[in-house]
Chain A
Amino acid sequence: DTGVSQDPRHKITKRGQNVTFRCDPISEHNRLYWYRQTLGQGPEFLTYFQNEAQLEKSRLLSDRFSAERPKGSFSTLEIQRTEQGDSAMYLCASSSSSTNEKLFFGSGTQLSVL
């Protein structure tokens, strides 16, 4: 068990470009979460999956953001037509499917939009 891994660790892109991040959860975990964190704020919920089903998506999330979890394993988060306001740390976490279970976080992907 190598924990939750995220790729890439850092991404610098120009405004208007599309970016895609990958998250590999702990293998036996059914739930996978995406959060975004900006300076001085706690992690902001984006979306989460139970196996391959996307169960919840933040109402604050722009249509430029999309996430997938094919086959209930790894997940990808894509941001289309990036804006400077998208610059943030994107965190992935996983947990078992039971309630009251703690989340295990990856190291995050730091996105900088120039």
Chain B
Amino acid sequence: ILNVEQSPQSLHVQEGDSTNFTCSFPSSNFYALHWYRWETAKSPEALFVMTLNGDEKKKGRISATLNTKEGYSYLYIKGSQPEDSATYLCAPEQAGTALIFGKGTTLSVSS
């Protein structure tokens, strides 16, 4: 079973703070690393799909980096807003298998 670790488990920040989370995964048989955002009462929504070592993706105030050799990815949120409150999930994709999700990092942003 693929071991996917996300840290921290939960995080509470003030509006305007910048924050980051970590996703660790096995580096063998790597195809891609997915990040999803899951807001309460909604469906998980894809943020990024990253494939190359050193990849950096950005979507508004959210960005992510990828290190496939050591098996980790960071997700950064700059100037957190209350609407960023959600659970952030990562899922590595290996050859020929379905996505296996980590337990997620739950972010709460207070105004």
Asked if A2 is at the interface (CB within 8 A of a chain B CB), the reply is no
Selecting from A14-22, A61-69, A75-83, A99-107, the interface stretch reads: A99-107
Q: Is the interface of B mostly helix, strand, loop or mixed?
A: loop
Beyond A42-B103, A42-B104, A99-B31, is A56–B44 a contact (Cβ under 8 Å)?
no
Report how far A60 CA is from B1 CA in the complex, Å.
10
Beyond A42-B103, A91-B44, A105-B43, is A100–B31 a contact (Cβ under 8 Å)?
yes
Contacts of A93 in B (CB 8 A): 44
Contact of A105 among B44, B98, B100, B102 (CB under 8 A): B44
Beyond A100-B32, A102-B34, is A45–B44 a contact (Cβ under 8 Å)?
no
Specify the chain A residue showing the minimal Cβ separation from B35: A102
A48 B103 Cβ-Cβ under 8 A: no
B31 A106 Cβ-Cβ under 8 A: no
Report how far A90 CA is from B105 CA in the complex, Å.
20
Interface residues on chain A, size class: 20 to 34
A42 B102 Cβ-Cβ under 8 A: yes
Total count of chain B residues near the partner, CB < 8 A: 25
Contacts of B97 in A (CB 8 A): 56
B98 A33 Cβ-Cβ under 8 A: yes
User: Could you tell me which residues of chain A, from 1 to 49, have a CB within 8 Å of some CB in chain B?
Assistant: 4, 33, 35, 40-45, 48
User: Could you tell me which residues of chain B, from 81 to 109, have a CB within 8 Å of some CB in chain A?
Assistant: 89, 93, 95, 97-104
Report how far A103 CA is from B89 CA in the complex, Å.
12
A43 B93 Cβ-Cβ under 8 A: no
B31 A35 Cβ-Cβ under 8 A: no
A100 B93 Cβ-Cβ under 8 A: yes
Asked if B11 is at the interface (CB within 8 A of a chain A CB), the reply is no
A40 B103 Cβ-Cβ under 8 A: yes
Contacts of A43 in B (CB 8 A): 44, 89, 101
* Chain A to chain B contacts (Cβ below 8 Å), 21 pairs: A4-B43, A40-B103, A42-B102, A45-B99, A45-B100, A56-B97, A56-B98, A59-B1, A99-B31, A99-B93, A100-B31, A100-B49, A102-B34, A102-B46, A103-B36, A103-B44, A105-B43, A106-B43, A107-B42, A107-B43, A108-B43
